[in-house]
Chain A
Amino acid sequence: MPKKTLTFALMDAPYESANLTTAFRILDAAAKRGHDINVFAYEGAAALAFTRQSPHPNPVHGKNLAEENHPTTKDQVAALLAEAAKNGGKVDWVNCGMCVDERGVNEFVPGTRRGSPADFQAFLDASDNTLVIPTK
């Protein structure tokens, strides 16, 4: 399959919706195929790449930090970038600047960047296809 440029708009905040699990499954599949990927992380999704996320133990589960191995979306974003690079693709992950300012999450996984709706417009114009996964 020829390389495509695919754009995704994400809106859900970490830890609140199954939408992001679906999104990451699709993103992983695209990265494995070496496609170029654009992500516009809007509203709550602007916190996905926030580097100060940290895993925690879970006393309700009776598990310590290592046993719980709690996922963080910042690790998932970093894994996505690495997987795309390994397969010859690239990821341009843009965190909506005003959204990160509102939420105080202006520290990103390396390889992602701050941006604006203008970046999303540029993504739309330059992509073979776009998938919006809106919050509900």
Chain B
Amino acid sequence: MAKKSLNVVESAYRAVMEEQDDTILWLLAAMQGAGGAHTVVLRGNAVNYAIAGQGAPGLTIGEWKQTQAPRMDRDVADLIENRKIPVYVVEEDLAERGIASDELVSGVKLLSRRALPKLFAEYEIISHW
């Protein structure tokens, strides 16, 4: 039985253009497929990942064009729907950025900062990315 793992993701949009995804969300999806039992908490700037309808144009350099630019909302939805990884978003971090809850990908759960310690107590491993 895999250990229950809570992953607090704070670093955001660091290398998403080059990797065409977020390396940590990708890693957790892959580990979940290997039998992991992961949960994600998006906090700080990473709450932006949960906004539906976002997307970046691919990078273009001369004749070279990127065709598979990242879609972070798609990747968050994939975690929830296909990987069965619960995704929480810290609601105070949303509010500070002027993001309303109805802008988020379906299935994302709101969590207050005050509720974090109680959530932490439910997991054997807590990682801050």
Contact = CB atoms under 8 A, between A and B. Distances in A.
Interface in A62-94: 63, 67-71, 73, 75-76, 78-80, 82-83, 86
B59 A24 contact: yes
B62 A71 contact: no
Given A24-B59, A31-B62, A68-B68, A60 B30 contact: yes
Interface string A111-127: 00000000000000000
A73 B18 contact: yes
A33 to B, nearest CB: 12
B73 to A, nearest CB: 14
Nearest to B64: A79
A61 B29 CA distance: 10
A25 B16 CA distance: 15
Contact of B61 (A16, A27, A59): A27
Of the four ranges (under 10, 10 to 19, 20 to 34, 35 or more), the interface on chain B belongs to: 20 to 34
4 closest cross-chain pairs (CB), A and B: A83-B62, A79-B64, A21-B17, A79-B61
15 contacts: A14-B18, A15-B19, A24-B61, A31-B62, A58-B20, A60-B21, A60-B29, A68-B20, A69-B66, A71-B18, A73-B18, A79-B61, A79-B64, A80-B61, A82-B62
Interface of A: 14-18, 20-21, 24-25, 27-28, 31-32, 58-61, 63, 67-71, 73, 75-76, 78-80, 82-83, 86
